[in-house]
Amino acid sequence: MEIMVARYAGFCFGVERAIDIVKDAAKEYSSVVTFGPIIHNPQVVGELKDAGVATVKSLDEVSKDMSVVIRSHGIERKEAEFLIENAGNVVDAACPFVKKAQRAAARLSKSCDYIVILGESDHPEVKGIVSYIDIPYKVIESAEEVDALDYVEKYGFLAQTTQSISIFEKSAEKLKQKCSELSIARTICSATEKRQEAAIEVASKVEVMIVVGGKNSANTTRLYHLCKEICPHTYHIETVSELSVEMFQNISKVGLTAGASTPVYLLEKVREYILEVAR
Ligand code: SF4
């Protein structure tokens, strides 16, 4: 059996950076917590918890004796203001690409009549981005949703960092027909773009595709859906325990990829399992 691993898979720059920042903070301060899970990977969050870094889920839990680390996918403007006032220390581990999207939202908010964001409205990153918008806006999940929008003088358009490039471009084309002027902020991060392209390339050549990463991870779920469109036998798993021998029966080519919040060792365990099955 041949195993093809996507050229870009696993931890991205923003996730590695966030984990390094948490570990450094844990050395420097006592009582370090993250505000929300630092990344969307339950295994990594569990490891940090074992190392003494807990996760707080609401602002009510924050106190002056805590050093609070802002998660990789950012927080809302009011939450950041609250932490500065009420936490002992605030350590910002938000990914620079997420911060760029937040700044773009604030900028478009000053120059446009209405803003459209391609993303998942209930995702914490999107909640953070829209918190910087002071004018009417709408979060869309597909290009088709643009059809229902009214004509305005000037639309602003941006995306959650982990969205699909092709849906973004399709939505932008449709939005151009809905306004006199369209101001676009390209906020999909390069790590997402590279992982999507590499995953699609592998999925088009294999019979079974395995996508490893948190079920709560937007970028991993996006990889899964993109691969599933090309390779019907695509599975989204968090750990090797979700695999079974039956998945690989009579299969000669298997593809592997992992979301940007997935540590490489989890991907490696999956590869070892498949090699074992193939023996
Ligand atoms: S996927 Fe992109 S935006 Fe998200 S943490 Fe990684 S580099 Fe940053």
Q: Identify the CATH number of the domain in which residue 45 sits.
A: 3.40.50.11270
Helical residues (DSSP H) of 59-157, grouped into ranges:
77-86, 96-111, 124-130
**Atom of ligand 1 lying closest to residue 12 CA:** 6
Range of lowest pLDDT (107-111, 136-140, 162-166):
162-166
Final residue of a structural domain among 95, 126, 143: 95
Query: Ligand 1 centre and the CA of 260: distance in Å?
Result: 7
Look-up of token digits 């050549």: 205
Residue bearing the CA closest to ligand 1, atom 2: 189
Final residue of a structural domain among 74, 95, 116: 95
The response to whether 73 counts as a known ligand-binding position is yes
Do 179 and 235 belong together in one domain? Answer: no
What mean pLDDT do residues 37-65 have?
A: 93
ipTM of the prediction greater than 0.85, yes or no: yes
For residue 70, which of 86, 51, 89 has the smallest C-alpha distance? 89
Counted domains in the chain = 3
73 contacts 96 by C-beta, under 8 angstroms: no
Query: Ligand 1 centre and the CA of 98: distance in Å?
Result: 7
Work out the pLDDT band at 279, boundaries 50, 70, 90.
Answer: confident
Which of 192, 194, 196 for a ligand 1 pocket mutation test, highest count of atoms within 8 Å of Cβ?
A: 192
High-pLDDT (> 90) share of the chain, %: 93
Do 184 and 204 belong together in one domain? Answer: no
Residue bearing the CA closest to ligand 1, atom 7: 14
Residue 65: phi and psi, rounded to 5, are: -90, 5
Do 221 and 234 belong together in one domain? Answer: yes
Work out the pLDDT band at 117, boundaries 50, 70, 90.
Answer: very high
What mean pLDDT do residues 167-195 have?
A: 96
Do 251 and 266 belong together in one domain? Answer: yes
Note the pLDDT of residue 278.
Answer: 82
Domain that holds residue 180: 97-188
The response to whether 123 counts as a known ligand-binding position is yes
Please compute Rg for the chain using Cα positions: 20
Note the pLDDT of residue 3.
Answer: 96
Note the pLDDT of residue 135.
Answer: 98
Final residue of a structural domain among 69, 95, 121: 95
Note the pLDDT of residue 28.
Answer: 94
High-pLDDT (> 70) share of the chain, %: 100
Our answer to whether residue 125 is catalytic in this structure is yes
